[in-house]
Amino acid sequence: AVEAAIPEPQRAAWIKHTPKPFSTPEEFEKDAIRHIETTLARSMYNCDELAAYSGTALAFRDRLIMSWNQTQQQHTFADQKRVYYLSLEFLMGRALDNAMLNVGQKDVAAKGLADLGFRIEDIINQEHDAALGNGGLGRLAACFLDSLASLDFPAWGYGLRYRYGIFKQEIIDGYQVEVPDYWLDFNPWEFPRHDVAVDIQFYGHVNRYQNDEGKTVSQWEGGEIVRAVAYDVPVPGYGTETTNNLRLWSSKAASGEFDFQKFNSGEYESSVADQQRAETISAVLYPNDNLDRGKELRLKQQYFWCAASLHDIVRRFKKGGHAWKDFPNQVAIQLNDTHPTLAIPELQRILVDVEGLEWDEAWIIVHKTFSYTNHTVLPEALEKWSVPLMQLLLPRHLQIIYDINLQFLQFVERTFPKEREVLSRVSIIEESQPKMVRMAYLAVIGSHKVNGVAELHSDLIKTTIFQDFVKIYGPDKFTNVTNGITPRRWLHQANPRLSALIASKLGSYDFLKDLTQLNKVENFVQDQEFRKEWREIKLANKARLAKHIKDTTGLEVDPKALFDIQVKRIHEYKRQQLNIFGVIHRWLALKALSPEERKATVPRVFIFGGKAAPGYWMAKTVIHLINQVGKVINADSDVGDLLKVVFVEDYNVSKAEIIVPASDISEHISTAGTEASGTSNMKFVLNGGLIIGTCDGANIEITREIGENNIFLFGNLAEDVEELRHGHLYGNYQLDEGLAKVFDEIRNGRFGDAQAFTALINAIVDHGDYYLVSDDFNSYCKTQELIDEAYKDQEEWLTKSITSVARMGFFSSDRCIEEYAETIWNLEPQKPKESAALDA
Ligand code: F58
């Protein structure tokens, strides 16, 4: 019917002239050169690598846009349910390599670029990471987008277009220094949609009045308006024509460039200042990981993004002409953590205040539409907003939240009439000074499903932070979806040789679309030629990392040494301090050996990387200690190549792609019960690295899948943590002996000014050792010794490596997305039609 609306001669002309995507190196060259000459206004004589990157990116962008158009048209015609993934963070990394692989044209581009005198790796390296996220949560969102498109699900991501992503980290004199990450100078992957703009209201007051039908209605009036402008980023699926959309909102002054009234009345400066104030909303990503700071600007970001996204979603829904009660059959909205929780009262507001639905009718729709993913049980990370702040910024939303709360508490009172104390425990409003809105409770109450991100974590949320809600709603509302990672980026792109080796044995690259097929790799575990290649690939990946280390730090490390890697955000609960104390312990032990004995030890390179939140002093101290220890140990001729310590500056997604394939061992050593899932653990194992870890997060399921012989577990269990903590505070605290010796060395100034590290030591010795560093220290060191022994048997190690990879099929983000689609969203894929079929 839609097609019939366009008369035949026009359709024919359009179809005839629709550009055909390139498919040979020559055609690629033609497109790239045209972009370099005309879009970039460069020529053969000043085409540097950056220009070649830009031309290549634009040529691929053209392809993506065509499949993107096609996908969006088809989804509109099909008019079926879509999922909207609301996330304040999308840690996408680089796009070009991924686009080339997903559309299957990397070889074509490599050949074409070679014809023009460029190496494809150099061109790929020109790209700036899109770093709109802090860590695991943001990267998970990016993996999910890749899977949603690869599985042909009609899905959109909604986020904020920060002008500055996560800061760049420089290490100066061993300290972290933050440098702004301005990444938008040239970004070929986004399309500004100046026609898609939404005006967002803040502040003001609520007017209640009777309408013509005598009904009391609320109207939010006055205040300030900021404009949200859409920027669209195409998200290509792997091996499919589906290209989904990630829509990022950018803020600007609502009245355009200037407030003309002010401008004309001579208030030029203040009109420019207004504009800047508006633009501040999407200026910068908050760099905290697992900490809630409750800043007004952050709340503004959250509402700005939720309101713009919902306006867009509702507009699209209304175009379909459905009845409101059909909204949850057309729309599923996933809340990535509590950051988008304001979308719940916002949808209720739209339905009741703007569309005139009855409260109860609206609430049923809201509740069926939303679902919420929790990513942490750490109390300091649970979002709360002060009631006075919300009253000021979002007066109507606060009323709605109070009304939601009232109805909820009345329901609880009816269900548990004898348990009045439960009411204050579960109230959305915390009766503190000032009162606070508990966002996680609002998210639970406004959603039909709540999930954790690994089995242990999903169990823990049911027995700790949401215990009362399990009683109130029953256990079925709470579920688990264990995290996963996309094998396209984290195997095929990061480790192309390993991917090719696997494909050569399995007969195709189909495992990239169905990762469970990896199990067939186990058939080749005794194949000598296969083993040899596997080993060579790991060594080559280590050599690549060694080169990166040499180029960036000047330090030489031997690729034959055992590479022991811990890369992730620096946080006390992740326990990089345990690792570095272990390194000192190892160093002391090495120095105590005779030169003869030393010869028998396995050389190790400890590699650290990760950012500390700028205001997190303790985490910064850990970075400083790692660098100081490195300085001393790397210069110690007693140990020479037997021990090296490296801190890789500015860990990010593109560095992870080099680091992850190069590990022999990686460390996932959080205090049991604190790491919700972890996802780098999955990336490392998928690339043939073994891991040392605690019984925490997804480590537990990884163990179940790969077998306990293939993982090095240590430390106390989650169920014992509380009692141990209690013992530290009220019992007779005994510091581990080995750790005490490590502290003596630090205190003696072995690693520079001892004072610099007092707080780190005192947290353990004097302040209750909340993260159980001392309790786990001995077990950790012993397990590290087991690793040394195991590494001596290279054949057995190799067997573990291959076997583990073969058993990692479960951890594909495709599996997660299918679970979400089936159990939470009730969503069907929409297979792309041949373009001919759509044109016919
Ligand atoms: C992470 N959370 C979890 N939060 O720590 C990790 O265990 C899990 O694997 C991952 O989510 C994915 O589920 C995380 O990265 C943040 O960075 C937030 C950023 C915004 C402020 C609060 C923390």
Same domain, 185 and 71: no
Cβ–ligand 1 contact at 676 (below 6 Å): yes
Residue nearest to ligand 1 atom 20, measured at CA: 289
CA of 437 relative to ligand 1 center, distance in Å = 21
Kindly state the DSSP code that residue 249 receives in the 8-state scheme: E
Residue nearest to ligand 1 atom 4, measured at CA: 137
CATH number, domain with residue 426: 3.40.50.2000
Kindly state the DSSP code that residue 812 receives in the 8-state scheme: B
Comparing CA positions, the residue from 817, 820, 740, 815 lying closest to residue 774 is 740
Q: Taking the alpha carbons of 15, 16, 19, 23 in that order, is the dihedral positive or negative?
A: positive
CA of 376 relative to ligand 1 center, distance in Å = 7
Is residue 645 a part of any domain in this protein?
yes
Kindly state the DSSP code that residue 448 receives in the 8-state scheme: S
Residue nearest to ligand 1 atom 9, measured at CA: 678
What is residue 637's predicted lDDT score, i.e. its pLDDT? 96
CA of 613 relative to ligand 1 center, distance in Å = 13
Question: Is residue 322 annotated as part of the catalytic site, yes or no?
Answer: no
CA of 35 relative to ligand 1 center, distance in Å = 39
Cβ–ligand 1 contact at 567 (below 6 Å): no
Cβ–ligand 1 contact at 137 (below 6 Å): yes
Is residue 748 a part of any domain in this protein?
yes
> In which residue ranges of the chain is pLDDT below 50?
1, 257, 836-840
Q: Rounded to an integer, what distance in angstroms lies between the CA atom of residue 540 and that of residue 769?
A: 41
Is residue 824 a part of any domain in this protein?
no
Same domain, 49 and 89: no
Do the Cβ atoms of 780 and 578 come closer than 8 Å? Answer: yes
CA of 544 relative to ligand 1 center, distance in Å = 29
Helix (H) or strand (E) holding 253: strand 243-253
Same domain, 733 and 775: yes
Cβ–ligand 1 contact at 374 (below 6 Å): no
Kindly state the DSSP code that residue 186 receives in the 8-state scheme: S
Convert the pLDDT of each residue in 468-491 to its tens digit.
999 999 999 999 999 999 999 999
Same domain, 423 and 562: no
Same domain, 55 and 84: no
Kindly state the DSSP code that residue 534 receives in the 8-state scheme: H
Do the Cβ atoms of 312 and 247 come closer than 8 Å? Answer: yes
CA of 474 relative to ligand 1 center, distance in Å = 26
Selecting among 94, 339, 449, 574, the annotated active-site residue is 574
Same domain, 599 and 699: yes
What is residue 835's predicted lDDT score, i.e. its pLDDT? 55
Is residue 756 a part of any domain in this protein?
yes
Neighbour tally for 529: CB within 10 Å:
8
- Kindly give the number of the ligand 1 atom that is closest to the alpha carbon of 138: 15
Q: What are the phi and psi torsion angles at 757 (to 5°)?
A: -110, 10
What is residue 837's predicted lDDT score, i.e. its pLDDT? 43
Cβ–ligand 1 contact at 288 (below 6 Å): yes
Q: Rounded to an integer, what distance in angstroms lies between the CA atom of residue 456 and that of residue 606?
A: 29
* Mean pLDDT of the chain, nearest integer: 96
Q: Rounded to an integer, what distance in angstroms lies between the CA atom of residue 436 and that of residue 237?
A: 42
Convert the pLDDT of each residue in 725-762 to its tens digit.
999 999 888 999 999 999 999 999 999 999 999 999 99
- Kindly give the number of the ligand 1 atom that is closest to the alpha carbon of 676: 7
Domain count, the chain: 3
Helix (H) or strand (E) holding 539: helix 528-553
Do the Cβ atoms of 197 and 228 come closer than 8 Å? Answer: yes
- Kindly give the number of the ligand 1 atom that is closest to the alpha carbon of 88: 20
Selecting among 542, 668, 683, 807, the annotated active-site residue is 683
The strand pair at 331-336 and 82-86 is best described as parallel
At 463, the amino acid letter reads T
Same domain, 579 and 688: yes
What is residue 263's predicted lDDT score, i.e. its pLDDT? 63
Is residue 726 a part of any domain in this protein?
yes
Is residue 403 a part of any domain in this protein?
yes
Same domain, 51 and 31: yes
What is residue 1's predicted lDDT score, i.e. its pLDDT? 47
Q: Rounded to an integer, what distance in angstroms lies between the CA atom of residue 347 and that of residue 352?
A: 9
Do the Cβ atoms of 602 and 788 come closer than 8 Å? Answer: yes
Same domain, 309 and 435: yes
CA of 375 relative to ligand 1 center, distance in Å = 6
Do the Cβ atoms of 618 and 168 come closer than 8 Å? Answer: no
Same domain, 88 and 42: no
Residue nearest to ligand 1 atom 19, measured at CA: 289
**If you compute the radius of gyration of the chain from its CA atoms, what whole number of angstroms results?**
28
Is residue 734 a part of any domain in this protein?
yes
Is residue 366 a part of any domain in this protein?
yes
Same domain, 69 and 134: no
3-state SS string over 381-418?
Answer: HCCEEEHHHHHHHCHHHHHHHHHHHHHHHHHHHHHCCC
Strand order in the sheet with 478-480: 191-202, 224-236, 243-253, 155-160, 82-86, 331-336, 370-373, 449-452, 478-480
Angular region, 239: left φ>0, alpha ψ -120 to 50, beta rest: left
What is residue 3's predicted lDDT score, i.e. its pLDDT? 56
Same domain, 69 and 174: no
Comparing CA positions, the residue from 359, 784, 306, 322 lying closest to residue 566 is 784
Cβ–ligand 1 contact at 697 (below 6 Å): yes
Domain limits for position 200? 79-94+129-482+829-839
The crossing angle, in degrees rounded to 10, of helices 576-592 and 737-747 is 90
Question: Is residue 81 annotated as part of the catalytic site, yes or no?
Answer: no
Indicate whether this complex's ipTM tops 0.90: yes
Specify the long-range contacts of residues 723-728, CB closer than 8 Å, at least 24 apart: 724/772, 724/775, 725/768, 725/770, 725/772, 728/768, 728/769, 728/770
